[in-house]
Copies of this chain bind each other. A is one copy, B any other.
Amino acid sequence: MSRTLQLRLAYNGERFSGWQIQPDQRTVQGVLRDAIQNICGETVIPKGSSRTDAGVHAADQVASFTTSSTYTPDVWRRALNAHLPKDVVVLRSSDVHPSFNPTTEAVTKRYRYRIHDGEVRPVLARPFVWQWNSRLDVSAMQKASTLLIGEHDFSSFENPSSPRASKVRKINDLTIQRHTGGECSSDSEIWIEIEGNGFLYNMVRIIAGTLLMVGTGKRPETWVGDVLADRQRTSAGPTAPAQGLLLLQINLKPQTVVAARNGSSS
């Protein structure tokens, strides 16, 4: 009898061509498929909540797959961690309802974008930050960011190569803070944290690139409102590089959590 397993995954995106399987590319979905195949002999393409791009990191991606194996979720977790490469790890595993779909069950997603703003480039945090050579005005970025909170048409913040049917998304939270205690004990790192009910393609990275234009003083705070109103990609700032982006958390629908708690492990 077949059952569905839900996984919580973390990965370092540095050496992956993103989540989604592509021919001749090393992808997270691909190494997960290979690990499942090595463990139980079944070929199954796991589903993911978020199709992270090449270079994007994840602290808590949700994935699921169907299998006829009777291993308990914890045995599956350990076996997967033994078979997966060192830059991916299964944090937790649980049985879920067979209809579970990690894309549609995600209620909110939270991302962190890290910018290092200082002339001296970071050498330890390098694969995880966008290096900007001059000091940014965080206060201006904060004020500008409030214009994006709430439900809006985010057409200006979508990479048009992969358009979604509806451009309306809701941002619940957007906080921008200097992070101290980082490399060399400097305060040269800015964390943009953003939570919403969903994101258009490259939306977080375009928001980061747009807020950076305000942080440099090249654009006034109110400009972000104009960008939003324009509803066209060319009005916004550049797409910030993938390496600064971390998928931080995915919150699932409540019923899914209940199903996981009651799920059979065989």
Q: Which residues of A contact B (CB under 8 A)?
A: 10-12, 57, 59-60, 81, 86-91, 120-124, 126, 128, 183-184
For the complex, give the distance between the alpha carbons of A118 and B88 in Å.
Answer: 15
Given A184-B59, A184-B60, also A89-B120 (CB < 8 A)? yes
For the complex, give the distance between the alpha carbons of A124 and B91 in Å.
Answer: 13
Chain B residues with CB under 8 A of A88: 123
- The residue from B12, B91, B183 contacting A184, defined by CB atoms under 8 A apart: B91
A245 to chain B, nearest CB (A): 12
Chain B residues with CB under 8 A of A91: 120, 184
Q: How many copies does the complex hold?
A: 2
Given A57-B124, A124-B128, also A10-B87 (CB < 8 A)? no
For the complex, give the distance between the alpha carbons of A46 and B10 in Å.
Answer: 41
A246 to chain B, nearest CB (A): 8
Chain B residues with CB under 8 A of A123: 10-12, 86-89
Known contacts A89-B122, A90-B120, A91-B120; 15 further A-B pairs (Cβ under 8 A): A11-B123, A12-B123, A59-B124, A59-B183, A59-B184, A81-B121, A86-B121, A86-B123, A86-B126, A87-B123, A88-B123, A89-B120, A89-B121, A91-B184, A124-B128
Which residue of chain B lies nearest to A124 when distances are taken between CB atoms in the complex? Answer: B12
A198 to chain B, nearest CB (A): 23
A241 to chain B, nearest CB (A): 13
Instruction: With a 10 A CB-CB cut-off, give which of A57, A87, A120, A128 has the most chain B CB atoms.
Output: A120
Which residue of chain B lies nearest to A246 when distances are taken between CB atoms in the complex? Answer: B124
Which residue of chain B lies nearest to A131 when distances are taken between CB atoms in the complex? Answer: B86
- Rank and list the top 8 A-B pairs by shortest CB-CB distance, nearest first: A12-B123, A10-B123, A89-B123, A59-B184, A89-B121, A12-B124, A87-B123, A11-B123
The answer on a CB contact under 8 Å between A183 and B10 is: yes
For the complex, give the distance between the alpha carbons of A47 and B11 in Å.
Answer: 38
Given A81-B121, A121-B81, also A126-B87 (CB < 8 A)? yes
The answer on a CB contact under 8 Å between A10 and B59 is: no
13 contacts between A and B (CB under 8 A): A10-B124, A10-B183, A12-B124, A59-B184, A60-B184, A81-B121, A86-B121, A86-B123, A87-B126, A89-B121, A91-B120, A91-B184, A124-B128
For the complex, give the distance between the alpha carbons of A183 and B184 in Å.
Answer: 18
The answer on a CB contact under 8 Å between A12 and B126 is: yes
